[in-house]
Structure 1
Amino acid sequence: MKHPVRPAAFGRRKEPHTFIIARGDEIRHFTVRPWLAAFIGSALAAIAVGYLLATSYLVLRDDLLGATAARQARMQQAYEDRISALRAQVDRITSRQLLDQQLMESKVTELLARQSQLSQRHGRIGPMLERAEAASTAVPAAAPARQEEKPDVRAALPGADSLTTAFASATDLRATATASPFSFWSPRAAISTESSADHADKLFVAINQSLRTIENEQLVRINSLAENAYQTTDTIKEALETAGLTVDLDNGKDATGGPLIAVDKATMFETKVKELDEALDALDAVKSQARTLPIANPAPGLPITSTFGVRRDPILGTPALHSGMDFRAPTGTQVHATAPGVVVKAGRNGGYGRMVEIDHGNGFSTRYAHMSRVRVKVGETIKTGDIVGDSGSTGRSTGPHLHYEVRRNGDAIDPLRFLKAGKKVVQYL
């Protein structure tokens, strides 16, 4: 049997696969198309691949989960380390700020205490400054250099404005110190805090320097006042001793000694204040003694015609002791007491004519003779400069004048020495 020949241009036709299943007399067959076979093969391959993948996942799942957990653990550890570092940094900054705040508060407290102390000193020295101002006088011409260095008593201490300014600045510094600058931390806040701390530290240094300057000025000027008072005391004392007048002052400078113990600033002020007080006490004492001595001029501006000592008697022409000094004074010229005292004689007294005698205490007395009129009475208390009478020519006299005597324990002494001493110290009294 011959098969028909097909043209070669169409190719060879693939026949579908036929499966025959015989079972006894029963025969079954079915035909499998190529696309169905391909589909079934693909499904079986997919199932195999899925199975392999599922098996691999089940096998490798623990490793994958462990790796993921380890990665997460590493990330969490790094995060916690970063947080710990930031927290430690915040703690350090906070601790530093707390320490700075505590230090600043202690410094501010110290400044306020010093300011309060300066205010108390200022109030305490006020009365002493009034005493020093009352006792303030020009330094004698013998010491011109000292005169230039003489302090102004009215400016002996810094004014209240300086203390008020320092107090206000210290109060502002305390407000800066007590404010909580780290309630919420951030880099900008930290920078701002450091800037505030630097500003506060500079302010503290400025206030501290200002208070130190005030303290030094107080000490220097108190010391200058004390030196000026001591110098004035010595000047008055030397002038009186030159006139033969003994001034008894127990200033505690003699017969002293002991180990040298340095004082700090806390006690330096008390020492200087005590020294100024002692200097003013000594000055007051020597002034009080000088005011009781007959050193004033009984006839200011009038010329001296005869001094104390041996001279030719104007009436007899023979040598005689002149127990006083004479001032050329027209009749009626006012005669002044040369020191405070009590009138013990007032009226005619032999060759003295109308005379007034005043007892000044400590053995000193003065006599004013040949007066035309007596203006005081016995027992009357007299002050320096009071008018005791008018000049004249009563008694043993050749013309109008004032005869003036100074006596110590009843003995006549040269009044000119007292007048010279009075010219030197009158500017201090």
Structure 2
Amino acid sequence: MRSRITARIHGVLERFFPERRLFLRSDTETRFIRLTSETQLVAWTGSIIVVAWTIIATAILLMDSIGAGNFRAQAQRDQFTYEQRLNALSAERDARAMEALAAQERFTSALQQISIMQSELLATEEKRRELETGLEVVQATLRDTMRAREEARREVAALSSENQNEGSASISDDAAGTVGLLASALADTASERDQIAADAEFAIAQAEEMQLELRLLQERNDQIFRQLEEAMLVSVEPLDDMFRAAGMNPDNLIEQVRRGYSGMGGPLTPIQFSTRGGDPDPDALRANAILTAMDRINLYRIAAEKAPFSIPVRSNFRYTSGFGPRWGRLHAGTDFAGPIGTPIYATADGVITHAGWSSGYGRLIKIQHDFGIETRYAHLNAMDVRVGQRVSRGERIGAMGNSGRSTGPHLHYEVRVNGNPVNPMTYIRAGQDVF
């Protein structure tokens, strides 16, 4: 049965692939190679497979080449778009830096103007107190003069009445002398009365002039107060907004700074312009409100130095990765890419708590700030600080590198509040509107 099937298959192959012989002749003999139908079928099948594989491989290579060209073109377009975006971000950063510098200059100018206005206010208030004292003296003198004039009038009337009652009696020499003395006294009294009246008129005129000068002085004080209040409002509101944008309560922040205040002289002391008791002086209330605002600005300045509102890289850089989920896990900071050796600066006043190697961070610097805030600077190439050292905002602490688990030179910058990572750009953007 098997031989029949084999013979039938061989017969079918014979029709398509008849048996052939390949003769090989030499000088002495002739040999041949017999190519059976099965051998020809195997050779033909192998050739077809080789040709088909060649066609398929060529097609794959052509498709890969076309796809690679498209990918390169797309990559070039993406790179061009990315570079344009980086240039736009760089221009925006420069504009923000210029705006921050201008705002800082305006803030400094406002503080200088406030200092000048405060000096003028104190000088005018001192002058006003002197005028009030002088006016009180003039009014007291005027009252004494008026009383003396009335007493003189009463004495003249009494003397005149006595003279009329004694006119019918005989006048002796002594009486005549007395009458002469009385007449002389009356003349002196009349002269003194006229002088008192002139002094009273002069005092009234001087009092009116003092009242006018006092009113003008009060108007000038009111203008100075308004300018100071506007300057305080313009200076305090941006600082309030900066701390709120960073998620910090300004009132709680001020209380913490006030409790730990260690500057020379302490907070500004309220002043009193009136010592006569009674209701509070409105000018004193306004002046104390301005002093309170100035004290708040001073405390804000101290707090701003202790919170990381600055940026750690000031040279040219680009943002490569932000805060948030990345590759299935939290990226707890912001990456700033730049050349190796780019200076790194502290973003706030604080104390170095770590300066060394730390696993995936590479060379790592940790700075502990007030209000439970900690900043971290990772993948550094060099460290210029040591543990326990106190640094100020803007002080250089190291250089950018590629140490630790890093794919290229960059700074990994973190901000942690009470141990929990927060977005560093929240503080940086908040500070860009003021500093």
| TM-score, normalised with respect to structure 1 | 0.51
- Whose Rg is larger? 1
Whole-Å separation in 2 of the counterparts to 1:137 and 1:271:
29
Instruction: Give the letter aligned to residue 297 of structure 2.
Output: L
- Aligned-partner SS, 1:291: helix
Q: Residue 243 of structure 1 aligns with which residue?
A: 246
Q: Residue 404 of structure 1 aligns with which residue?
A: 413
Contact 2:128 2:214 in 1 (8 A): no
Q: Deviations over 1:199-241 (max 9, x none)?
A: 4433322222223333454355346535643553343122221
Q: Residue 386 of structure 2 aligns with which residue?
A: 377
Displacement of 1:402 after TM fit? 1.9
The 1:228/1:160 distance shift into structure 2, 3 A limit, reads: closer
Residue of 369, 380, 388 corresponding to 1:360: 369
Q: Deviations over 1:88-132 (max 9, x none)?
A: xxxxxxxxxxxxxxxxxxxxxxxxxxxxxxxxxxxxxxxxxxxxx
Instruction: Give the letter aligned to residue 201 of structure 1.
Output: I
Q: Residue 279 of structure 1 aligns with which residue?
A: 293
Residue of 401, 416, 423 corresponding to 1:414: 423
Residue of 155, 158, 181 corresponding to 2:117: 155
Contact 2:381 2:403 in 1 (8 A): yes
Whole-Å separation in 2 of the counterparts to 1:238 and 1:287:
14
Displacement of 1:243 after TM fit? 2.4
Displacement of 1:161 after TM fit? 8.2
The 1:269/1:166 distance shift into structure 2, 3 A limit, reads: closer
Residue of 295, 302, 317 corresponding to 1:303: 317
The 1:236/1:158 distance shift into structure 2, 3 A limit, reads: closer
Whole-Å separation in 2 of the counterparts to 1:239 and 1:250:
12
Q: Residue 261 of structure 2 aligns with which residue?
A: none
Whole-Å separation in 2 of the counterparts to 1:362 and 1:250:
8
The 1:137/1:207 distance shift into structure 2, 3 A limit, reads: farther
1:193-342 equivalences in 2 (<5 Å):
197-218=200-221, 221-222=224-225, 224-226=227-229, 228-229=231-232, 232-249=235-252, 267-310=281-324, 318=327, 321-342=330-351
- Aligned-partner SS, 1:248: helix
Matched residues, number: 269
| TM-score, normalised with respect to structure 2 | 0.50
Contact 1:240 1:421 in 2 (8 A): yes
Whole-Å separation in 2 of the counterparts to 1:266 and 1:347:
60
Q: Deviations over 1:301-320 (max 9, x none)?
A: 533322423576xxxxx565
Contact 2:225 2:286 in 1 (8 A): yes
- Aligned-partner SS, 2:433: helix
Unaligned runs of 5+ in 2: 1-103, 153-184, 256-276
Unaligned runs of 5+ in 1: 1-135, 141-146, 253-262, 313-317
More helix as a share of residues? 2
- Aligned-partner SS, 1:425: coil
Whole-Å separation in 1 of the counterparts to 2:200 and 2:338:
82
Q: Among the aligned pairs, what percent are the same residue?
A: 26
User: Greater shift after overlay, 181-190 or 150-159?
Assistant: 181-190
Displacement of 1:372 after TM fit? 1.2
The 1:251/1:365 distance shift into structure 2, 3 A limit, reads: closer
- Aligned-partner SS, 1:344: strand
RMSD after superposition: 4.4
Displacement of 1:410 after TM fit? 2.2
- Aligned-partner SS, 1:271: helix
Displacement of 1:195 after TM fit? 6.0
